[in-house]
Amino acid sequence: MSDGLASLWPLLALRITTRRLVLAIPDTPDLLNLAEASGDLQPAGQPRYQQAYLYEPSPQRERHLLQRHWRVLAHWRPESWNLQLAIRVDGLAVGLQNMWAADFAAVRTVETGSWITRTRQGHGYGTEARAAVLELAFAHLGAVEAHTSYVDGNTASERVSRKLGYAANGRRAYAEDGRRVVEHRMLLDAVAWANHRMPGITVDGASECLALFGLRAEARDS
């Protein structure tokens, strides 16, 4: 059944493999694991992830997670897409890595975001997961820039970005629950990515997905 669906929707066969991780569109076991994992993200007092739904009470949080998964697939268009991948460690989904873009064929720019359950943090999985989607973006889709952001106090996210070669790219302030939050933007261009490229990453199934990303096989590097 999955092979048949992948022939119609090739994103289902997309796999990115690092030294310790496999990233793929979540299947039903992944979604169940992610729903459970989303309830244990960080100790109290730490800066929040920028996905507000992760802090909703149960079962709204779990239902929102499922709805987001179904929504990004249902609303996918070559001109506007959001690739949401389960981060699997030893076959178990422990977080999500997102990469999204608008008008990618012309702009060749992506943005990324992620979360990993608290018990799996501190092992470098976040760095590997980000490096995995950057490999897809730059090496297989012909991206020229990748953007990300972190809020004041989220030093783990900042460290991941700097380790992978991102540079500061401005900041903005906004209100959240009546308090001021400062968001720092970061930018990675193709040259910096190549200089910090993580070895040992393989991407399977990307060529079959090019049309869904708004690309033609012969025009990917144009």
> Tell me, what CATH number does 46's domain have?
3.40.630.30
Residue 118: predicted pLDDT: 87
Residue 219: predicted pLDDT: 47
Q: Is the pLDDT of residue 86 over 50?
A: yes
Residue 1: predicted pLDDT: 45
DSSP element (H, E) containing 38:
none
| Model pLDDT for residues 131-160, shown as the tens digit of each residue | 999 999 999 999 999 999 988 878 888 899
Residue 43: predicted pLDDT: 61
Question: How many structural domains does the chain have?
Answer: 1
Please state, in angstroms and rounded to a whole number, the distance separating the CA atoms of residues 137 and 35: 27
Stretch 99-114: mean pLDDT: 97
The answer as to whether 148 is a domain residue is yes
The answer as to whether 222 is a domain residue is no
Nearest C-alpha neighbor of 6 from the set 22, 21, 24, 18: 24
| Model pLDDT for residues 30-55, shown as the tens digit of each residue | 999 999 988 887 666 665 665 677 87
Phi, psi of 162 (to 5 degrees): -70, -35
DSSP element (H, E) containing 193:
helix 190-196
The answer as to whether 85 is a domain residue is yes
Contact criterion met (CB below 8 Å) for 51 and 67? no
> Which residue carries 């190549």 as its tokens?
194
| Model pLDDT for residues 167-221, shown as the tens digit of each residue | 999 999 988 778 898 999 999 999 999 999 999 999 999 999 999 999 987 545 4
| Model pLDDT for residues 58-80, shown as the tens digit of each residue | 999 999 999 999 999 999 999 99
The answer as to whether 189 is a domain residue is yes
Please state, in angstroms and rounded to a whole number, the distance separating the CA atoms of residues 84 and 143: 18
Contact criterion met (CB below 8 Å) for 30 and 117? no
The answer as to whether 167 is a domain residue is yes
Sheet strands side by side (includes 21-24): 167-176, 179-189, 145-151, 109-116, 92-102, 80-89, 21-24, 15-17, 202-204
Residue 44: predicted pLDDT: 60
Query: Read out DSSP for 60-76?
Result: HHHHHHHHHHHHHHHT-
Q: What is the residue range of 25's domain?
A: 2-217
